[in-house]
Chain A
Amino acid sequence: MTSKYKEKIGAIIIYLTLLVVALFCLAPFFFLLISSLRPGVEMIRNGISFQIDFSALNLKNYWLLVEGKDGIYPLWYINSVIITVAHTVFSLLLTSMVGYGLAIYNFKGKNLIFIIVLVVMMIPVEILILPLYKLAISIDLIDSYMGVILPFVVTPTCIFFFRQYAMSLPRELLDAGRIDGCGEFKIFFQIMMPLMLPAFGAMGILQAMSSWNSFVWPLIVLRSTDMLTLPIGLQSLITPYGNNYDLLFPGAVMSVVPIMILFIINQKAFISGLTVGGVKG
């Protein structure tokens, strides 16, 4: 009798906690969405609040996204897409090579390189922004797609992940390929890479997400208004001379939409990329 009673109370506590936290996690999305439908003047006056005039909601702001400020928002969108795609593709190609090389072969300096990969993972990028900026100026990378991508294209986290994954690849295939006269790179691209496809999925999503949302480095390396990515562009809309909330809210909503769709389609890929890349097992 008492144990059943206890169980019930336990269940209530559990569900109540989960529900409250879920509300905390989802409410901001609701308010961002609603705010994107409200006139910007109202946002300046009230901030984000419970007082919502539902009859005044409309899609005008979304039109403004296309037309407002000489159509700068679509340009930012295109920049973000190009940078994210290029960053992800090159990053996967290069880090999978490195990870595979570290997992499959024995060579001098291999352990040293792996230790360096781990150390680089542990050092905050923010410390390096100043010298990287100087470097970017001297090799003419400022204000270019290349400048955003290049310094962070060989991501240590991805290398680590691919290495862990490649450790489990069957070595017999390596010998079989060699007997068939394939070179080492042909073996990698034609035999091993297809076997590593799940790793590419997980890392691709993780890399794309971090590239799409990346803030600190693009903030520094991108200068002209029409080169900005979405986070930097949205940030630039907040000025002391008036906050462009009409543009900011729908812009913010639209910047979340593509990742949200990806997430809803394939949640597992998001989560598996995190766990294997994160927890060193």
Chain B
Amino acid sequence: MLEPPVVALNKSYNRLSKIRTLFASQKKAPYLFVLPFVVSFLVFFLYPIISTVIMSFQRIDGPESITFIGLKNYKNLINPHFFNALWVTTRYTFWTMLVLIPLPLLLAVFLNKKTTMGKKYFKSAFFMPALTSVIVAGLFFRLAFGEQETTLVNSILGVFGIKPMVWLQDPEGSMFAMVLLCTWRWLGVNIIYFLSGLQGIPAELYESASIDGANEIQQFWHITLPSLKPVIMYVLTISVYGGYSMFAESFALWSGPRSPGEIGMTIVNYLYQEGFNNNNLGFASAIGIALFVLVMLVNVIQLWVSGFFKKEGV
């Protein structure tokens, strides 16, 4: 039996007003506000993580043929390719941290000095590379580090009497190219972080220090550096995060996940190659989990060394 139209209308009206009261209710509204995140987290974060963990214990030859193989994928991680990727990625992370913390810190201090002229223009110039995609940056650096004697890098080094080299086929040369590419794109961003930290330091600290006769270098060590500790910690953390998850820079320099002699093979590159090119889903998942554990471990160690877990007021 069909419902009379009035009843149907009434029903749908009731449903509508129910929804309306749900949206208006002070008790329930907060949950609706945060719902987008909860849904997105469950579907596009938690579920993928769980599915990677499961896949890392499986051998997947197709949607129908999945076998549970215990820790075999993790045992397979003990191979020269993975160790090479680990080594390349660790070196890359180390060098980016060594360059991308002191250098932007120094530049930020220079830019923060009252007497420096043209701050605005320098700041814009430093930040502009951050606007480019890694592909555009990679295009420049790949050809600037080209093998010909005439390329930008070789001819600049030639001025200092250094012989031209085939950068992107040499382990040290390609590491230099990757770190330089990263430095180019991230320098400005880190400068901005440090500048915002510097602007938060009260000027009275410096005034009283200079009354006490402290020179600028002493002021830097005893006021600037300790005050910037939270910002330095933050930059350190994102450097570890960015360094260990590096993928696109290497992909752009060699236009693909493969590089000669695996000199540009990072952990995520290895994951990509195993997962997408070789279709080793289970093994690639184990690589992903290993990377996850590694990043967490390095972060915790770093926080521990810096005294983050000690009592407040450090």
Do residues B288 and A130 form an inter-chain contact, with CB atoms below 8 A? Answer: yes
Interface residues of B, dominant DSSP: helix
The answer to whether A107 and B135 touch across the interface, beta carbons within 8 angstroms, is no
Query: Would you call B47 an interface residue if the criterion is a C-beta within 8 Å of the partner chain's C-beta atoms?
Result: yes
Contact B44 A150 (CB under 8 A): yes
Which chain B residues (237-283) contact chain A, with CB distance < 8 Å? Answer: 237-238, 241, 244-245, 247-248, 251-252, 255, 268, 271-272, 275-276, 281
Taking CB atoms, residues of chain B closer than 8 Å to A98 are 33-34, 36-37
* Complex contact A25–B126 (CB within 8 A): yes
B139 interface neighbour in A14, A129, A133, A252, Cβ under 8 Å: A252
Contact A131–B33 (Cβ < 8 Å): no
Q: Is there a chain A Cβ closer than 8 Å to B114's Cβ?
A: no
Chain B interfacial residues counted at CB < 8 A: 97
Q: A41 at the A/B interface (Cβ < 8 Å)?
A: no
Q: Which residues of B contact A186 (CB under 8 A)?
A: 24
Q: Does A172 contact B (CB under 8 A)?
A: no
Give the chain A neighbours of B44 by CB distance below 8 A.
Answer: 128, 132, 135, 150-152
At the interface, yes or no: A144 with Cβ under 8 Å from chain B?
A: no
A46 touches B151 (CB 8 A): yes
Interface residues in A9-68 (C-beta closer than 8 Å to B) = 11, 14, 17-18, 21-22, 24-26, 28-29, 31-32, 35, 43, 45-51
Contact flags A167-186 to B (C-beta < 8 A → 1, else 0):
00000000000100001111
| Contact among B29, B131, B252 with A185 in the assembled complex (CB-CB below 8 Å) | B29
Q: Chain A, interface size: which category?
A: 35 or more
What is the CB-to-nearest-CB distance from B68 to chain A, in angstroms, rounded to a whole number?
17
Which of chain B's residues have a CB closer than 8 A to the CB of A116?
Answer: 41
A124 in complex: contacting residue of B32, B37, B55, B291, CB < 8 Å: B291
A14 to B112, CA, bound (A): 11
A102 to B31, CA, bound (A): 9
Known: A21-B107, A128-B49, A131-B48. A47 touches B272 (CB 8 A): no
B150 within 8 A of A: yes
Name the A residues within 8 Å of B301 (CB-CB): none
Shortest A62–chain B CB gap in Å is 16
Given A47-B152, A130-B281, A135-B44, the answer on whether A260 and B126 have CB atoms closer than 8 Å is no
Among A28, A101, A156, A238, point to the contact of B255 (Cβ < 8 A).
A238
A21 in contact with B29 (CB, 8 Å): no
Interface pair A129/B272, CB less than 8 Å apart = yes
> For the complex, is B23 an interface residue (Cβ under 8 Å from A)?
yes
> B165 an interface residue at 8 Å Cβ cutoff?
no
Beyond the given pairs A130-B271, A130-B288, A280-B230, 6 more chain A to chain B contacts, judged by CB atoms under 8 angstroms and listed by A's residue number, are A17-B110, A49-B150, A97-B33, A124-B291, A127-B289, A131-B48
Point out residues on A near B: beta carbons under 8 Å.
Answer: 11, 14, 17-18, 21-22, 24-26, 28-29, 31-32, 35, 43, 45-51, 94-95, 97-98, 100-102, 104-107, 110, 113, 116-117, 120, 122-135, 150-154, 156, 159, 178, 183-186, 188, 209, 212-216, 219-220, 230-231, 234-235, 238, 248-249, 252, 255-256, 259-260, 263, 267, 270-271, 274-275, 278-281
The 7 closest A-B pairs by CB, nearest first: A101-B33, A47-B146, A183-B24, A124-B245, A184-B29, A131-B48, A105-B30
